[in-house]
Amino acid sequence: MAIIFDEKNKTFNLDTGISSYILKIYDGGYLLNLYYGKKIPESCISGFDTRPRNASFAPYDKEIGNGDFSPDSAPIEYGADGAGDFRISAIKIKNSNGDSVTDIRYKSHKIYKGKPTIKDMPATFATEDEATTLEITTIDEVTSMEVVLVYTVFENTGVLTKSVKIKNNSSKVAFIERAFSICNDFPTMKYDLISLYGRHAFERDIERRPLAHGVQGVESNCGISSHRQNPFVALVAPNADEDHGDAYGFNLVYSGSFSALVECDYNNSSRLIMGINPNGFTWKLSPNETFYTPEAVCVYSPDGIGEMSRIFHRFYNKHLIRGRYKTEKRPVLVNSWEAAYFDINSEKLLDFARAAKEIGIEMLVMDDGWFGRRNDDTTSLGDWYVNKQKFPDGLTPFIDQVHEIGLKFGIWFEPEMISPDSDLFREHPDMCVHVDGREPKLGRNQYVLDVSRADVRDIVWAQMDAVLSANKIDYLKWDFNRYISDASSVQLPPDQKKEFLHRFILGTYDLMDRLTTKYPDILFENCSGGGGRFDPAMLYYSPQIWTSDNTDAIARLSIQFGTSLCYPASVMGAHVSDHPRTSYGTKADVALWGSFGYELDIRKLNEEQKTEFKGHIAQFHKYYDLIHYGDLYRVISPFERGDKVAWEFVSQDKSQVLLTVVCIEGKVPENFILKMKGLDENAYYKDEESGEIYSGAQLMYVGMNISYQVNGTYGSKKWYFTKVDK
C-alpha cells in the first residue's frame, strides 16, 4: 500500500514510488517527521526523533521521551506557536482568552483510498485506484481546536499533496492568525533555495541561493500570487543540477497572497512552511466551523532538478488540468490586442478573420475594447455589454460571420475590475474594494471589484452569462490587470476585515467555477498582465495561462525556462508577434513551446510570409502531442550560458524527439558540440531532415557537432528525430 501505519512503532510510511515520507507519533502525542527523501523499505528509522537541545534556554519536558525532549529542537511535523517551539510556526490561533498559544497533539487517524476535495477551493484530483489519503487528527486539549493534517499519496508518481482542516470544537469564538498548508522538517540546512522572481513582462527568473541561518524565503502581499514571486520553491542539494542530485519542489495551489519561508536553526536543521500569507490575514472561527487551507503539492526527485520538473509536468497534465481541452488539441489563434489594441470594430476583425483563415489559423480572439464605451483603459470595466458604436448590430451577427468564415471565436473579460468611469460604478460606488474614509488607489486607471461579496459576483455573472449564453463563444480570456490595495470590504464587520483577501480569492474561484460548469466547452485562458497569476489554482479552471505580456522571443526564453521549473508546456500561452528583434522563424520556434498563436496584424503579411506562417502552423500540428505531453529536457539554460539556448521534448515512449537551439549571440563559428538528453541509449534515431541515423548513446554521450548550423545572432534551428530499426 502507498500508506502504511506501523502499529508497533507508531509510524506512518507514505510511499510515492520514488520517495518515502515517514511520520511518528511520539510520546505525549507529539507528531514528528523522521524522514523525507528517496524511497526506503523501512517504516521506522531510529535516532531521528529527537535532536540536541543546544540552546540552553529552550524549554524541555522531562516526562517526554528520554527526559530531554524540547519542542524547539524536535522535528515537529506541524509547528505550532507559543508552546515551546520558537521556530517559524505553521499555525497560530488566538483563543477566547486573548492568548495565541497553540499546542496540538495526535488524537486519531484514518487511511482511505482516493482523494478528498477541498471546500470552495481548487485542488488536484485522483480516482480511488490512483491515490491513497491519510488524515491525522490532532487536538489542542486546552482550547478544543481540532487540526486535521491531510496527506494524499499519488502512487508511482513522486508526488505527495498536503492540506489542513481547522475546526473549532469549543463553545467560543477563536481567530486563526496563521494556517500554513505544509510544514516540512529537514535534518540539515545543506540545501540551495530556488525561487522564481520577476516583474511585469519579465516573470519567473530563476534565483538560487544557499540556505543560511535564520529565516529566508519568498512571498506575495499583492492579493494575488503576482509577477514578483511565484508560489513555487525548491530545496536542492548544493551539487544538484538538471540531471543529478536531490531536489524537493513545493507548489501552492492558491491564487492569493502567499508565503514560503525556510528557517535554519541552531541545530543546522531547516523547516519549510508554505501557505496563505499571514500578513493581513486573520480568520474568525465560530463554534463548529471549519477552515480549510489550500493544497500544496510536494515533489521529490533523486535525479536532479530536471526530473523534479518532469514529475510536476506529468502530474499537472493528469491530475490538475480538467475538461475538454485536457486532451483535445487547442486551436491556433490570433489575438487582436497587439494588432489593434482598443481600435476594433466588426469590419476590421472580419478582415482579420479572413486573412487568418487563408493561412490556417483556427480562431480569432477579440481582446479588450468591445464593451461599454471602451476606447482606452480609463473606462467601462464592469459594463459587460456590447459597444454599439463598434458593433452596431450587436455581437451575435458578427460572431456568426466569424464562424461562417470557418474560425472559432474568442472574447476578453476582466471580471474582477471596475472603472471609475462606468455605469456600474456610478450606480454602485460601494462595490469597489476600498476602506471607508479613504480614497482608493487607482491601478491602470481602474479599481478592484469586491468579488468577496455574493451580490457583486451575481451582477458580474449575470452580465457575462448574458453574453456567453447568447453567442457561440469558443474561448474566453480572463484578465486581471492590477494588484489589490485598500484591502477591505464594506460588508465585513470589524473583527473579520482581515478575512477579505482570502474571501476575495474564494469569490474568484466561485465565478470561475460557475463559468467552467455552465460552459464546459469553452477554452478558458487565464491572464493577469501576462503571468501575474500563473499558479496551479488557475490551472484547475483554465488549461492554459498567458505566460507573459512580453512577446519578444529572446526575452521569452528566460521566461519559459523559469516557468518550466514547475509548469508544463501545455499550460503556457505563447505567441508569435511583430517584435522586431528576431525573425518569424525564431519567434515560431520559441512559441511552439506552449499553446501556439499569433499576436499581430495578420492582414499585413506578404505572400512569402503567408507561406512561412503556414509552415509554422503545420509544425504546431505535427509536434503538438510531443510538446504538450512529452518530457521536457532543458539542455542549455539561458541562465547559465550567454550565447546559446537549447531544449528538447521527448515522447514518453522515447520514440520521438524535438530539439530546438536558439543562438543569442552570433560569433565566429566555434566548435560547438551538443549532447542530447532523455533518449533510449540502446535505440537508433533518424534525423528526419538529413536522413542520418544515430544511436541514442551517440547522441547523448558523444553529441552532435552543430558548429555551423546555428550561428547568426537570434537564429534558431530544430531537429526532429524518430526511433527506427538499425
What's the domain range around 423?
332-628
Express as a percent the part of the chain with pLDDT over 70: 100
654 and 544 belong to one structural domain: no
HEC per residue, 402-461: HHHHCCEEEEEECCCEECCECHHHHHCHHHECCCCCCCCCCECCEEEECCCCHHHHHHHH
HEC per residue, 128-151: CCCEEEEEEEEEECCCCEEEEEEE
Element (H, E) at 612: helix 607-629
476 and 416 belong to one structural domain: yes
Question: 34 in a domain, yes or no?
Answer: no
In this predicted structure, what is the pLDDT of residue 668? 57
In this predicted structure, what is the pLDDT of residue 669? 62
Question: 527 in a domain, yes or no?
Answer: yes
296 and 415 belong to one structural domain: no
345 and 444 belong to one structural domain: yes
355 and 245 belong to one structural domain: no
Catalytic residue, chosen from 192, 368, 479, 589, is 479
Question: 27 in a domain, yes or no?
Answer: no
Q: Is the predicted pLDDT of residue 713 greater than 90, yes or no? A: no
Give pLDDT tens digits for 537-589: 999 999 999 999 999 999 999 999 999 999 999 999 999 999 999 999 999 99
277 and 132 belong to one structural domain: yes
Instruction: State yes or no: is 81 an active-site residue.
Output: no
Question: 90 in a domain, yes or no?
Answer: yes
Catalytic residue, chosen from 15, 549, 589, 631, is 549
Do 416 and 385 form a contact (C-beta atoms < 8 A)? no
641 and 528 belong to one structural domain: no
Closest CA to 290 of 163, 109, 100, 182: 163
Copy the grid coordinates of residue 369. Answer: 475594447
550 and 571 belong to one structural domain: yes
301 and 181 belong to one structural domain: yes
673 and 591 belong to one structural domain: no
164 and 116 belong to one structural domain: yes
Element (H, E) at 57: none
Q: Out of 589, 610, 628, pick the residue that ends a domain.
A: 628
Quick one: pLDDT band at residue 324, thresholds 50, 70, 90?
very high
Instruction: State yes or no: is 458 an active-site residue.
Output: no
Question: 573 in a domain, yes or no?
Answer: yes
In this predicted structure, what is the pLDDT of residue 388? 96
Total domains, the chain: 3
CATH classification of the domain holding 647? 2.60.40.1180
Do 202 and 555 form a contact (C-beta atoms < 8 A)? yes
Q: Out of 585, 602, 628, pick the residue that ends a domain.
A: 628
Closest CA to 680 of 637, 624, 631: 631
In this predicted structure, what is the pLDDT of residue 61? 80
Q: Out of 267, 292, 319, pick the residue that ends a domain.
A: 319
Which DSSP state fits 68? T
CATH classification of the domain holding 375? 3.20.20.70
Give pLDDT tens digits for 24-75: 999 999 999 999 999 999 888 888 888 887 777 888 888 888 877 899 999 9
Closest CA to 537 of 322, 331, 266, 377: 322
Tell me the pairing of strands 192-199 and 229-236: antiparallel
Question: 19 in a domain, yes or no?
Answer: no
- Pure H helices in 525-606: 536-541, 553-563, 584-591
- DSSP-assigned states of every residue in 142-182: TTTEEEEEEEEEETTTTEEEEEEEEEE-SSS-EEEEEEEEE
Instruction: Give the pLDDT mean for 492-517.
Output: 98
Copy the grid coordinates of residue 13. Answer: 510510511
Ramachandran assignment for 221, one of left (phi > 0), alpha (psi -120 to 50 degrees), beta (any other): alpha
557 and 429 belong to one structural domain: yes
Question: 1 in a domain, yes or no?
Answer: no
Question: 218 in a domain, yes or no?
Answer: yes
